Structure 1
Amino acid sequence: MLRRLLPLLLCGLCTVLQAAPQLAPARLQALAAEPFWLALGHYERGKLGGWRSYVDDDEFFLAASGAEDPAAELAATFEALYRPAALGDRHPQCRYPARTRWLREQLALDDLPAPACPEFAAWYADIAPHSTVLVFPAAYLNSPSSMFGHTLLRVDQADIDRQGSPLLSYALNFGAYIEGMDNSILYAWKGLMGGYPGLFALMPYREKIGEYSRLENRDLWEYRLNLTAVETGRLLEHVWELRQIQFDYFFFDENCSYRLLELLEIARPGLQLTEDFPLTAIPADTVRAVKNAGLIERIDYRPSRERELLARAAPLEAAEQGWVQRLAADSRALQDAGYQALPTERRALIEDGAYRLLRYQASGAERDPASAARSYRLLQAINRNPPPRLEVERPILPEDGHQSRTWQLGVGSRDDRAFAEYGLRMAYHDLLDNLDGFPLGAQIEIAQLRLRQYQGNHWQLQQLELAGIRSLTPRNRLLKPWSWQVAGGLERVPGEGGEERLVGHLNGGAGGSWQLGEELLGFALATVRLEQNRDFAAWLSPAAGFDGGLLWRNRAGNLLLEAQGDYFHNGEVRRRLSLAQQLELGDNLGLRLSAAREFSQWAPPVNEVQLQLRWYYY
């Protein structure tokens, strides 16, 4: 019996000998109020006072009240550091290396147990952190979840530029954890409402390269940060603490970009990056905040497969692009007499274009032996007749575009009634906004509010748009994407007796867009609409319609000519013809002149003109 009890007695004696010393209450409170400790716990001030942690996982905290009490969590951590070293990987020092390092430095703790942490040591050595890169996969128009862009961190080893490849590095990503196959609408709703948990994930960077620039055809911007090896290591220690730890995930604020800003504040104590994002954290804005903080050392650009394909096809004539399609579909056309009669240098461009088109078409699909064989034959032809090096023009940096929030001040008239209009849009960009840093034909507007003040001090809500998304991606000989749009909210429409009615609506459409000139897009979409209008007998009324027009990028800014129509099931026909020109006065200032004529079965035609000043800010 004594032999069995002896190990327990020794363990208990060891625990007593290494019990945590007492920490003075004043010192405890002072440490708990330190910004770095608050950052380690992801604490923020509660709306009604006190503290709350963004972490939504009890496994992260050592104290029962740790999610709301930074001092209690610090006291529990301090005591836990003195637990027996025999716990090994289960020791709090192994579980919380960033907390341990900071408390050891702050309190000069030279009497701590020294547990072995082989699991953490092996993980840390495999990553070998030395430097950090902020990666921005640019907006991808045909995916609602990707239209804002995204950010992640890449952790590089030493001498990555001279002796290695970034593809061997690790990518650190924060995102919504989705189980099952939610459709795009359900994904958008749950992402807005916090319906998904958020998790950090560390994976090989080559996998992320494949996901974004290949599968989703997104350009990648890589911002090398000037974090030191010590700062990068500190960041990674905290990432270890967050393994499988859940956060609430919200698409507009507590998202990928916001969480990464928190990590940068841990890497370099004293940074105050998250303070600028109390309501929304749009990726381009967070990149701008990192740049303004002086963290960026160098910027590299990786074009997507789609952009590379279009750049290769740009100098080809229509007949040559036809050969690109034929070779991608059947590489035996390489031996066609008509093809062989083409000049050697033209065949080199065509073959490279065909190979890129084939690779583009195969993105995201399972391996097809026939497609692989065609790729191999095209590669053989390229090796025999190499094309010139592909040069892809580097776009304007995404963070150099206008700010995401917009104030609007307008004056105008609706027939013989003058009005002033006041507006606020929380995010982000419409078809006419200042274009630098954005693709032509892209729109994503969130929370658009417009109030009008008519003569006689008559106020009315003109519009409350929850979301308005448009993707006018042009079709061409090689690529044929669909254009689409969706919007929903409240807006004013013509009503009986010439009155305007505030109605609820949800509408969408799909069709095509075409590049009619270097800076000219034409588009035509079939649309559907659901409307809740008290002038209608039915509570909810459907309509079919159209939306078409021209979008022209000119020297002054952007011009949009648009014709729209809705044909309701109850016989109401509503049409609208509009023309608007945005004048770009500065990076974050625009002047918009618009004119419209509206037609309705229930009222005479109405003319409206408006001059609007738009100020973009965050």
Structure 2
Amino acid sequence: MRTTLQYGLALIWLASGTPVYANPLPDTGQLHEHPDWLTLLHYQKNRYTNGYTSQADDDAFFLSDDGKHSPESELRTTLAAISAPGEGDGHARCRFPARDRWLREQLALPETDIECPEYDDWKTTLNTETVTLVFAASYLNSPSSMFGHTFIRLDPPQDDDEADLLLANTISYAADAAAHDSEILFAYKGIFGGYPGITSIKPYYEMVRLYSDIEHRDLWEYQLNLTQDEVDFMLAHAWELRDINFDYYFFDENCAYRLLALIDVARPGTDLLDEVSTHAIPSDTVRWVVDKELVQEVKYRPSAATSVTHSLNTLPGDHQTLASAVANGYVAVDSQEVNRLPDRERAHLLDATYDYVRYQSEADAWPREHAAPLSHALLRTRSQIRDVAAADKPPEPEVRDDQGHDTFRFSVGGGRMGERNFSQLTLRPAYHDVLDPPAGYRSGAQLQFLRLDARYYTDNDELQMEQIVGVEIRSLSPRTPFFSPLSWQVGFGGRRTDTETDRVFTPYLEGGAGGSWMLGAKMQAFALATADLEIDNDLNKGYDAAPGADLGLLHQNNRFSLMAGVKTKAWIVGNQHRQDQLYTRAGWHLGRDFSLFGEFTREDHYDRYRTTWQLGLHAYF
């Protein structure tokens, strides 16, 4: 009798478009406030008012007209919809299999014989037994990838067959950016939610090709310890999200955030989204997944660039020179210089040179008429050397990206500028400074967002904003006989600057480019041509510009970091003058949570010499 009444009420609901609730449908009570339901519908508590709002920005995700703001209405409407008669892929049970399963479990609803061929075929095709969270390391040359990227790999049953994993499918969430948008426009729209975010499914080999082979980013694979039941529930929810739009925000509601939501759905109670405050940086989100004991195994997949660099770096110095000459066509593969080497050394040289030529033919588009015959000659000559194994693969880094320091930094310090003593507080939500603990981060890389430096001067009890960093990026990539990357920097924000009579706060834009060279295992030298622009009414003519140079040394190890050098600028628009600076900055790393820091500058500006120093403590959260 109960089922018959449910059936009749569902018919009324379908005919009228208005949900009908009566005793035959189970009493849901306060089920709409259940954490699992709120997670499944992506509801978040409103910040300033009572109630909830779903982060889904697509009407197709809701069955109720006010479902975006009413968990109760959406639950009741969903319950009526899954209880309604009907067949085929358009039925609510087939459109929302995760909701259907959860409601039936919570309310002990009887199963029905409704078939969902499209969903069933999709699940069969994916054939997923385990789930792996994949982290692609940071890539500074693209605003969309500066913090790294995460996606989920859906692993089929396999017997340690690498080929099977490359054919596995992946779930990825990313901004659906217009193809003609520039990198600057992408960054702007990404920060302020100007793009829809879409969930896509692609084969893993395509992701490896993109991130590892083209963008030269190492991949870390974190196999999750989800049960088969949890994996199936994750897939059911992923089906519900296939074509659903969530507005994409670069800092918080990004690729990593959406994957945390999927894991929260799969294993209720993990509450990974509760870890997100002001931002969700992919390396941080991986750290949270590890801390929640969700990871069963971790594997490292070096990029093509990492593999080639390792192969070349294991050659002695004179062999590196010879390999470069062979690769560039200055020395023949069967030359006397190559043939006189012992078999083991010659095999290593040929292997490394072949890897380098193949890499350059793909990454830098070396002409085929040069790369193809050279590759063939290298392989033919190498095949004649028997009983010599190929060189080892790159070793796994001692510290993974998720094991580095946390990205939020709070700093307190004190010092003296000229004749004035000051105390300084600094807040930096993200991400890394070249003098922060380097373990788990790319050497010579710096990426800072929204850093605030406030100073309190004791001589006149004055509190001033010393600097606001909107974005500050620096990439010091060493040049070698094989690779000649550009070292560069760019930044904008506001800062205190001197005029002839005062010290004013001005907006600024700065950039630079040049080269960097290794002087040892941990030391590199760099030389950058720079350009600065400042805009403020207190400046003569309202703005000023300065070409300049920055020459320095950078040392980094897991206990101590040091940068020292000289900067010079020639201001050419207002009061034309030079600004020269000698600087030293250092950090002493106390594990991954704290660093002591010190800074010293000696500056000549407007023919006035001034010394500034500061000591303090960085804390990472």
Shorter-chain TM-score: which interval? Answer: over 0.9
What CA distance in whole angstroms lies between the structure 1 residues aligned with 2:355 and 2:566? 37
1:597 to 571, 588, 602: 602
**CA 1:343–1:581 in 2, change beyond 3 Å: closer, same or farther?**
same
Does 1:91 pair with 2:91? yes
**CA 1:383–1:64 in 2, change beyond 3 Å: closer, same or farther?**
farther
What is the CA-CA distance between 1:541 and the residue it aligns to?
2.3
1:407-422 equivalences in 2 (<5 Å): 407-422=410-425
> Is the Cα contact below 8 Å between 2:138 and 2:146 reproduced in 1?
yes
What CA distance in whole angstroms lies between the structure 2 residues aligned with 1:367 and 1:24? 72
Give the equivalent residue in structure 2 for 1:430. Answer: 433
Does 1:459 pair with 2:463? yes
| TM-score of the two chains, using structure 1 as the length reference | 0.92
1:542 to 540, 545, 555: 545
What is the CA-CA distance between 1:180 and the residue it aligns to?
1.5
Secondary structure at the aligned position of 1:74 is classed as: helix
> Is the Cα contact below 8 Å between 1:496 and 1:535 reproduced in 2?
no
For residue 60 of structure 1, what is the amino acid of its counterpart?
A: F
Secondary structure at the aligned position of 1:62 is classed as: coil
What CA distance in whole angstroms lies between the structure 2 residues aligned with 1:318 and 1:29? 75
What CA distance in whole angstroms lies between the structure 2 residues aligned with 1:184 and 1:562? 31
Secondary structure at the aligned position of 2:217 is classed as: coil
Task: Kindly provide the CA deviation profile for residues 542-591 of structure 1, in whole angstroms up to 9, marking residues without a partner as x.
Answer: 22111120001257410110222221223132222111111112321011
What is the CA-CA distance between 1:331 and the residue it aligns to?
10
What CA distance in whole angstroms lies between the structure 2 residues aligned with 1:157 and 1:77? 32
Give the equivalent residue in structure 1 for 2:521. Answer: 518
**CA 1:180–1:227 in 2, change beyond 3 Å: closer, same or farther?**
same
Secondary structure at the aligned position of 2:541 is classed as: coil
What CA distance in whole angstroms lies between the structure 2 residues aligned with 1:476 and 1:511? 14
Give the equivalent residue in structure 2 for 1:585. Answer: 590
Does 1:406 pair with 2:409? yes
Give the equivalent residue in structure 1 for 2:390. Answer: 388
Does 1:155 pair with 2:158? no
What is the CA-CA distance between 1:106 and the residue it aligns to?
1.2
What CA distance in whole angstroms lies between the structure 2 residues aligned with 1:374 and 1:564? 45
What CA distance in whole angstroms lies between the structure 1 residues aligned with 2:288 and 2:24? 38
**CA 1:39–1:383 in 2, change beyond 3 Å: closer, same or farther?**
farther
What CA distance in whole angstroms lies between the structure 2 residues aligned with 1:413 and 1:54? 48
For residue 38 of structure 1, what is the amino acid of its counterpart?
A: L
What CA distance in whole angstroms lies between the structure 2 residues aligned with 1:111 and 1:472? 61
Give the equivalent residue in structure 2 for 1:473. Answer: 477
> Is the Cα contact below 8 Å between 2:361 and 2:368 reproduced in 1?
no
> Is the Cα contact below 8 Å between 2:435 and 2:562 reproduced in 1?
yes
What CA distance in whole angstroms lies between the structure 2 residues aligned with 1:322 and 1:120? 58
Aligned residues: 603
> Is the Cα contact below 8 Å between 1:219 and 1:303 reproduced in 2?
yes
Give the equivalent residue in structure 1 for 2:217. Answer: 218
What is the CA-CA distance between 1:362 and the residue it aligns to?
3.0
1:336-375 equivalences in 2 (<5 Å): 336-363=335-362, 369-370=368-369, 371-375=371-375
Does 1:532 pair with 2:510? no
For residue 276 of structure 1, what is the amino acid of its counterpart?
A: E
Give the equivalent residue in structure 1 for 2:100. Answer: 100
What CA distance in whole angstroms lies between the structure 2 residues aligned with 1:23 and 1:161? 54
**CA 1:362–1:41 in 2, change beyond 3 Å: closer, same or farther?**
farther
Secondary structure at the aligned position of 1:78 is classed as: helix
Task: Kindly provide the CA deviation profile for residues 389-419 of structure 1, in whole angstroms up to 9, marking residues without a partner as x.
Answer: 3231221111111111111111111122111
What is the CA-CA distance between 1:372 and the residue it aligns to?
4.0
| TM-score of the two chains, using structure 2 as the length reference | 0.92
**CA 1:372–1:75 in 2, change beyond 3 Å: closer, same or farther?**
farther
**More displaced, 161-170 or 405-414?**
161-170
For residue 548 of structure 1, what is the amino acid of its counterpart?
A: L
Give the equivalent residue in structure 2 for 1:28. Answer: 28
Secondary structure at the aligned position of 1:333 is classed as: coil
Identify unmatched segments of 5+ residues in structure 2: 1-6
Secondary structure at the aligned position of 1:504 is classed as: strand
What CA distance in whole angstroms lies between the structure 1 residues aligned with 2:554 and 2:354? 32
> Is the Cα contact below 8 Å between 1:327 and 1:351 reproduced in 2?
no
What CA distance in whole angstroms lies between the structure 1 residues aligned with 2:54 and 2:577? 53
Give the equivalent residue in structure 2 for 1:503. Answer: 506
Secondary structure at the aligned position of 1:181 is classed as: coil
Identify unmatched segments of 5+ residues in structure 1: 1-10
For residue 431 of structure 1, what is the amino acid of its counterpart?
A: V
What CA distance in whole angstroms lies between the structure 1 residues aligned with 2:246 and 2:376? 46
Q: CA RMSD in A?
A: 2.4
Give the equivalent residue in structure 1 for 2:3. Answer: none
> Is the Cα contact below 8 Å between 2:10 and 2:81 reproduced in 1?
no
